[in-house]
């Protein structure tokens, strides 16, 4: 067994002097192929048009809910430059491997996770890469990880519609995507961009999740719209998408995520969304 390390280098476009044989720039874009010791029934990408809306929270919470229902679940953290999935689960060990395969880290519930932070010698080190190397890492996360048998592989996408998100859609056989948003004024623009990207990539949109939709008053249990009134219904009618659910803003849950205890969170709203996957 040996530890897998990320070579912290940057592509200089000099293919003649480069040792990365399977780089996208060298080979041209080819679909990733799963290794013969793994099988995945369904791949779902979790996307947001901007950062800070809780995309990683939705990804990890859905994985926890599915695992508690008895499904075999994995998370591919493709937010390479800002990975937060390992911290949510309290994972700090480095991935090990043998031969050509990487072993994902398993959580208490048996959720298999691969993330850039689980390959670094120091999880606080930044990844200063350009597009070609990032795309190659996404391919490696899919092809070279020993996922074994999974019912669901959830992909925590980077925020926005940039280079890495494009690489995920072009390289991996994503079945559906979930779009995460929040009830703010820019929601229509953000959701519209994500929907249009999915349409351009010919990927089905399962629906939209509105996170931090409301705060429950601890005294009277009234729902308080902290970020203003939601306009998601009108946008859903206009853009023809399903609202999968609305998640409350619960400070205690935020603390559990920060403490690496996302598996201790019980959120009925997430369970209802997971049933639709």
Give CA separation, 41 vs 12, 38, 103, 120, in Å.
Answer: 37, 10, 19, 29
pLDDT tens per residue across span 8-17: 444 554 444 4
What is the arithmetic mean of pLDDT over 88-106? 92
**pLDDT value at 25 more than 60:** no
Segment 208-214 shows an average pLDDT of: 93
Residue 160's alpha-carbon distances to 110, 163, 169, 190, in angstroms, are: 30, 9, 13, 8
pTM of the model: 0.87
Task: Please tell me the predicted confidence (pLDDT) of residue 6.
Answer: 47
Structure confidence at residue 55 (pLDDT): 94
Q: CB within 8 A of 115, min separation 6: which ones?
A: 75, 77, 83, 85, 86
pLDDT tens digits, one per residue of 155-181:
999 887 677 888 899 999 999 999 999
**Is the torsion defined by CA of 73, 76, 82, 86 positive or negative?**
positive
């Amino acid at each position: 067994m040996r530890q897998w390390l990320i070579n912290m280098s940057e592509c200089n476009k000099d293919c003649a002097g480069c040792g990365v044989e399977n780089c996208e720039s060298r080979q041209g874009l080819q679909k990733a192929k799963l290794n013969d010791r793994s099988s995945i029934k369904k791949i779902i990408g979790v996307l947001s048009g901007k950062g800070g809306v809780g995309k990683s929270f939705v990804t990890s919470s859905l994985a926890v809910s599915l695992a508690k229902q008895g499904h075999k679940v994995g998370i591919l953290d493709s937010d390479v430059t800002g990975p937060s999935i390992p911290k949510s689960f309290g994972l700090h060990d480095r991935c090990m491997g043998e031969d050509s395969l990487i072993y994902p880290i398993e959580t208490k519930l048996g959720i298999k996770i691969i993330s850039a932070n689980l390959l670094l010698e120091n999880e606080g080190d930044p990844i200063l890469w350009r597009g070609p190397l990032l795309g190659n890492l996404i391919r490696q996360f899919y092809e070279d990880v020993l996922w074994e048998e999974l019912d669901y592989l959830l992909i925590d996408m980077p925020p926005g519609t940039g280079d890495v998100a494009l690489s995920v859609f072009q390289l991996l056989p994503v079945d559906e995507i979930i779009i995460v948003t929040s009830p703010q004024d820019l929601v229509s623009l953000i959701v519209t961009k994500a929907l249009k990207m999915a349409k351009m990539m010919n990927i089905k949109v399962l629906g939209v999740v509105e996170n931090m939709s409301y705060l429950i008053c601890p005294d009277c249990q009234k729902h308080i719209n902290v970020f203003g009134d939601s306009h998601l219904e009108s946008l859903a009618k206009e853009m023809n998408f399903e609202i999968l659910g609305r998640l409350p803003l619960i400070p205690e849950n935020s603390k559990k995520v920060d403490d690496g205890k996302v598996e201790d969170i019980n959120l009925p709203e997430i369970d209802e969304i997971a049933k639709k996957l």
